[in-house]
Chains A and B, each alone.
Chain A
Amino acid sequence: AQSVTQLGSHVSVSEGALVLLRCNYSSSVPPYLFWYVQYPNQGLQLLLKYTSAATLVKGINGFEAEFKKSETSFHLTKPSAHMSDAAEYFCAVTHSGAGSYQLTFGKGTKLSVIP
């Protein structure tokens, strides 16, 4: 069984400040990990994914995440927040074995950016 915990349902940062959104996972097999973003009234858009290659993954819009097996974490960061980053962010996990068809999502973290 796999699960995802996102610490903080709501995070506020000032424009230009560091963004850090936390995600911890639980998986009995090597995981694949994803971050999705949801803008208001839109679907889920993939930001980045970890699929057992490099542990530091770069995504779109300047976001990156680091897979840390020892900490079972996959935190999302961005050095400098922009107003357009205000959205809800979801961490998700699936297993790396054959026949991996479902994503298990965290509850999401709503990011607010203060001008």
Chain B
Amino acid sequence: EPEVTQTPSHQVTQMGQEVILRCVPISNHLYFYWYRQILGQKVEFLVSFYNNEISEKSEIFDDQFSVERPDGSNFTLKIRSTKLEDSAMYFCASSVGPLNTEAFFGQGTRLTVV
């Protein structure tokens, strides 16, 4: 069964460092998403990406965040200068169409900023 894969599963980084979280969406999917879940809190939407551009983003997704689909298979989330409060589980998701279709989620990357 096709799945969304995320790497690494766990990343520890020092405050102020840049991190790149990687995702391989399902191959025939056209819509890509990043969500995050701070420990003990809700899963929160960060950004959606379609046709090589951001289609929607939340208030959380400020200038320190960026997304890219560099090579037609990977979908990355970059955090330029990490803060302690960026520590969270980050989920990538993809879907064939907008969200009346099913969004498939990856297993997540746990980011710990120290």
Residues in B whose Cβ lies below 8 Å from that of A105: 35, 42-44
The size of the chain B interface, using a CB distance under 8 A, is 26
Q: Are A101 and B55 in contact (CB under 8 A)?
A: yes
Minimum distance in angstroms from A74 CB to a CB of chain B: 15
Could you say which of B99, B102, B108 contacts A101, with CB atoms under 8 Å apart? B99
Cα distance A106–B106 in the bound complex, in angstroms: 19
Chain B residues with Cβ below 8 Å from A43 are: 4, 91, 105-108
At the interface, yes or no: A61 with Cβ under 8 Å from chain B? no
Chain B hits for A104, CB < 8 A: 45
Give the residue among B31, B43, B50, B106 with the most A Cβ atoms within 10 A: B43
A99 touches B100 (CB 8 A): no
A107-B42 in contact (CB<8A):
yes
Question: In the complex where A41-B107, A44-B43 touch, is A100 in contact with B4 (Cβ < 8 A)?
Answer: no
Contact-size category for A: 20 to 34
Query: Chain B binding site: helix, strand, loop or mixed by DSSP?
Result: strand
Contact residues of B with A, CB < 8 Å?
A: 4, 31, 33, 35, 41-45, 48, 50, 55-56, 58, 91, 93, 98-100, 102-108
List 23 contacting pairs A-B, 8 Å CB cutoff, sorted by A.
Answer: A32-B100, A41-B107, A43-B4, A43-B107, A44-B91, A44-B93, A45-B105, A46-B102, A46-B104, A51-B100, A96-B100, A99-B55, A99-B98, A100-B99, A100-B100, A101-B31, A101-B48, A101-B56, A103-B45, A104-B45, A105-B42, A106-B42, A108-B43
